[in-house]
Amino acid sequence: MKDNCQMIVHNAGGIWGHTGAEALAIKAGKICDVGFADALRDKWQADTELDAQGLLITPGFVDAHTHPAFATGRAEEFDWRAEGADYLEIAKRGGGILSSVAHVRDASLDHMIAICTLNFKRMLKHGTTTCEAKSGYGLSLESELKSLEAIKVGGERAGITVIPTFLGAHMIPSEHRDNPQVYVDLLCDEMLPAVKEQGIAKIADIFIEDGAFDIVQARQYCQAAVDLGFELRVHADQFNNLGGVELACEFGAQSVDHLEALSDAGLECLAMSDHTF
């Protein structure tokens, strides 16, 4: 007597980790058998079958750093880069993160949900089934909460597994450029607690860089986030070595990203950490 299963997938060009196999059976949402189609049909009664059409069957990709919650593109910045402008120069021209902020603040929640859903569907189309997804283009309490809601709903509609991250500390917004500490205090005293209450993001992130947050501001933010029970991620050493890697290691961050300007001391810190980066 055959056992029941949900599906048999057959005619695969290959199955990751199984040399020579071309079919698999799925039961209760999990792969329960791998081999050849005729043998699996003898063993399993499938509710349905799927022809893989010679394609590779592989685990879904996991993308650990994405920014899906923006309202419009910034294609003109490719021209600026072609002219030799670097990231910081583009920011000074009004491009980069702050350009996206203005559009996100003006966008409705429905528009942001539609954008996130579209971006997540594109990821799925190219094989990504799980992603970390950051806010960070709102830089105000209302717009950051809106972005996190859009990430949550967009992931659900697209059918992708999403790990939301609060990146309100992506950049100092224009209204606080003359007194950045006001925004740092706002992040720690109001925005992080509100994100905690919203309950979508369990991780907080910060960009430590010239023109964004310095190491003293980052320490204040990371401590406030940890005190509220957030896990941490950190953008660091992208253009300049400000000690962000060492701070991330000190706080036991889940990840520290970018690292183009990583120093020998930062590399040693990562190597000696009990985390895998």
Diameter over CA atoms, the chain: 76
Q: Which residues make beta-bridge pairs with 162?
A: 131
pLDDT for 276: 67
* pTM for this model (two decimals): 0.88
pLDDT for 274: 81
User: Side chain identity at 187, as an amino acid letter?
Assistant: L
Backbone angles phi, psi at 42, to 5 degrees: -65, -25
pLDDT for 265: 92
Q: Which residues make beta-bridge pairs with 4?
A: 45
DSSP helix/strand/coil, 233: strand
| Both tokens assigned to 255 | 């990840």
Phi-psi region of 54 (alpha: psi -120 to 50; beta: other; left: phi over 0): left
In the chain, the percentage of residues whose pLDDT exceeds 70 is: 99
Segment 250-274 shows an average pLDDT of 93
pLDDT for 57: 95
- Among 161, 134, 51, 146, CA closest to 108: 146
pLDDT for 172: 95
- Among 80, 2, 81, CA closest to 45: 2
Rounded CA-CA distance 165/205 in Å is: 7
User: Side chain identity at 161, as an amino acid letter?
Assistant: T
CB atoms within 10 A of CB 48: 10
Would you give the DSSP letter of residue 258?
E
Segment 20-38 shows an average pLDDT of 96
Q: Minimum mean pLDDT among 81-85, 177-181, 197-201: which range?
A: 81-85
pLDDT bucket at 157, cuts 50 / 70 / 90: very high
Rounded CA-CA distance 122/100 in Å is: 20
Mean of pLDDT over the chain? 94
Give the chain's end-to-end CA distance (angstroms, integer): 49
Q: Please name each of the domains of the chain with its CATH number.
A: 3-57 (2.30.40.10), 61-272 (3.20.20.140)
Would you give the DSSP letter of residue 58?
-
CB atoms within 10 A of CB 94: 10
Rounded CA-CA distance 109/106 in Å is: 10
User: Side chain identity at 213, as an amino acid letter?
Assistant: F
DSSP string of 126-160, one letter each residue: TTEEEEEEE--S--SHHHHHHHHHHHHHHHHHHT-
- Among 11, 65, 100, 79, CA closest to 205: 65
